Amino acid sequence: MQASRNFEDLIELVSILRNECPWDRKQTHESIKDNLIEEAYEAIEAIDNNDFNEFKKELGDVLLHVVFHTNMADEKEKFNMGDVIYTLMEKLIRRHPHVFGDHVVEGDAQVAENWENIKLKEGKKSTLDGLPAHLPALIKAQRMQEKVASVGFDWPEWRQAWEKVEEELNEFKTTLRYSSKEDQSGEFGDLLFSLVNVARFFDLAAEDSLRLTNKKFEKRFRYVEQQITSEGRSLKDATLEEMDGHWETSKQIL
């Protein structure tokens, strides 16, 4: 079999692997579900790195999982690729009446509001229904805030959201002096949640922001390690002042 740009060929290829490769044959939805998450994060990393060649490859890996899971479901006569495509298209058409119907909207905010209202009409009991339980906490916090904001539950402007940050910060400081670890954890969570809300007002993605900071910290700390190692010493031999000096240097060059 030769590589092609045909979607049907990809489906056939996965089917062949499923039947003839011992590793592929033994997999289940459960055994590879974490791999799907991993591939999605690798695609996100390619976006962050502005690496379109890698992004192309990672999207292919995500697509592979879509096809592979669908193949396994088809084996059990649960659904097939046609069902997946039809369900997606039907939902997109139904939830975009301003594109495929005569509904008029003014701006993306109204589109988001209509989207949530349509989902409620589809049988959702809450605006917050549909968010995965295992979604990373920062992403979930921001998505919850976006959802409730789309139906009007929101601060009028960012200043009120910032006042909430200051309020939560003071409450967290108080728990550090007088409360249990459980209370401290709860108040710290409230503080993080309020910071995510401020980020949303400025159209910042909290998860992306923290991921970029993590990346920056890793680069700078690796620089500190390299400088200490180049002196023939280990970090255990270096003082905090020495490490901090290299850290300040790293901030100028990284």
For residue 151, what pLDDT is reported? 86
Cβ atoms within 10 Å, residue 80: 15
Residues 89, 95: Cα–Cα separation, whole Å: 10
Q: Which of 93, 110, 127 is the last residue of a domain?
A: 93
**Contact call for residues 69 and 37 (beta carbons, < 8 A):** no
Q: Is residue 50 part of a domain?
A: yes
pLDDT band at 24 (very low <50, low <70, confident <90, very high): very high
Q: Is residue 174 part of a domain?
A: no
Measured CA angle at 249 (ends 245, 254), to 5 deg: 140
Q: Which of 62, 93, 124 is the last residue of a domain?
A: 93
**CATH code for the domain in which residue 43 is found:** 1.10.287.1080
pLDDT band at 7 (very low <50, low <70, confident <90, very high): very high
**Would the pTM count as exceeding 0.75?**
no
Q: Is residue 149 part of a domain?
A: no
How many structural domains comprise the chain? 2
Please name the residue that has the structure tokens 């993306």.
Answer: 108
Q: Is residue 103 part of a domain?
A: no
Q: Is residue 157 part of a domain?
A: no
pLDDT tens-digit profile of 148-158?
A: 998 889 999 99
Q: Is residue 24 part of a domain?
A: yes
pLDDT band at 93 (very low <50, low <70, confident <90, very high): very high
Residue 212: domain span:
208-253
Q: Is the pLDDT reported for residue 59 higher than 90?
A: yes
For residue 124, what pLDDT is reported? 79
Q: Is residue 191 part of a domain?
A: no
Residue type at position 51: D
For residue 153, what pLDDT is reported? 93
Residue 177 C-alpha from the chain's centroid: 34
Q: Is residue 46 part of a domain?
A: yes
Q: Which of 93, 128, 148 is the last residue of a domain?
A: 93
